[in-house]
Chain A
């Protein structure tokens, strides 16, 4: 099993809808998780971090962590065309040095 697995999509949602991005992780991943947004031709930009079980909200973004199921998700409410990008899920390794990245989910928000 890969350390971090992500549904690769692509995912299309209409403007104003909720976009749901999902990620699972293995035992090699520690309890720190991150979501990055990457626009085409640009470097990844950190948008959310989550360390504790449950939900963490920041504006239109909500990260959810379920340690029992080894599952982390990102919800984007009121999706905007500017949210169209690839979203990368990442987790820190148990050794603390390395990050494991998922393959990314391409999101398109249709006006």
Chain B
């Protein structure tokens, strides 16, 4: 399986600021995804990061709030913009194993917004 490095691992941010989360994979992958896991909840897909084109966002998530970059097949970033306490969550980068469809996760970013 791919090795997925995600950083920062955690951060405490002030309301109104932005945080960019980085995801680096040790091999080229076609599909990269960003998930959110709010306290005590399951995983919610934010968007699919597409290489060379705009990300595909799920219902309830917009590009202005969660801009995503995917400059190549091994790297992506997610920015959480104009943060509020409701954005406090774990953010997870994930990649799809194209051969057998398995989904693997990075170590996650624990975000707290004050």
Spell out A's residues near B (CB within 8 Å).
32, 34, 41-46, 49, 88, 90, 92, 96-99, 101-104
With a cutoff of 8 Å between Cβ atoms, the chain B residues found around residue A32 in the complex are 101
With a cutoff of 8 Å between Cβ atoms, the chain B residues found around residue A45 in the complex are 105
A2 CB to nearest B CB, Å: 10
Q: Looking across the interface, which residue of chain B has its beta carbon closest to that of A100?
A: B45
Cβ-based interface call for B31 (8 A): yes
Known: A46-B1, A46-B102. 9 other contacts (CB 8 A): A32-B101, A34-B102, A42-B107, A43-B90, A43-B107, A44-B92, A97-B48, A101-B42, A102-B42
Contact yes or no, A99 B103, CB < 8 A: yes
Q: Looking across the interface, which residue of chain A has its beta carbon closest to that of B104?
A: A46
B39 CB to nearest A CB, Å: 11
Which of B1, B42, B45, B101 sits near A92, CB closer than 8 Å? B101
A56 to B101, CA, bound (A): 17
A89 CB to nearest B CB, Å: 9
With a cutoff of 8 Å between Cβ atoms, the chain A residues found around residue B107 in the complex are 42-43
With a cutoff of 8 Å between Cβ atoms, the chain A residues found around residue B105 in the complex are 43-45
With a cutoff of 8 Å between Cβ atoms, the chain B residues found around residue A92 in the complex are 101
- 29 A-B residue pairs with Cβ-Cβ distance under 8 Å, sorted by A, are A32-B101, A34-B102, A34-B103, A42-B108, A43-B92, A43-B105, A43-B106, A43-B107, A44-B43, A44-B92, A44-B105, A45-B105, A46-B1, A46-B102, A46-B103, A46-B104, A49-B100, A49-B102, A88-B42, A96-B101, A97-B31, A97-B48, A98-B45, A98-B48, A99-B45, A101-B42, A101-B43, A102-B42, A103-B42
Shortest beta-carbon contacts, A-B, top 9: A43-B108, A43-B105, A101-B43, A103-B42, A101-B42, A44-B105, A104-B42, A32-B101, A43-B107
With a cutoff of 8 Å between Cβ atoms, the chain A residues found around residue B31 in the complex are 97
B77 CB to nearest A CB, Å: 18
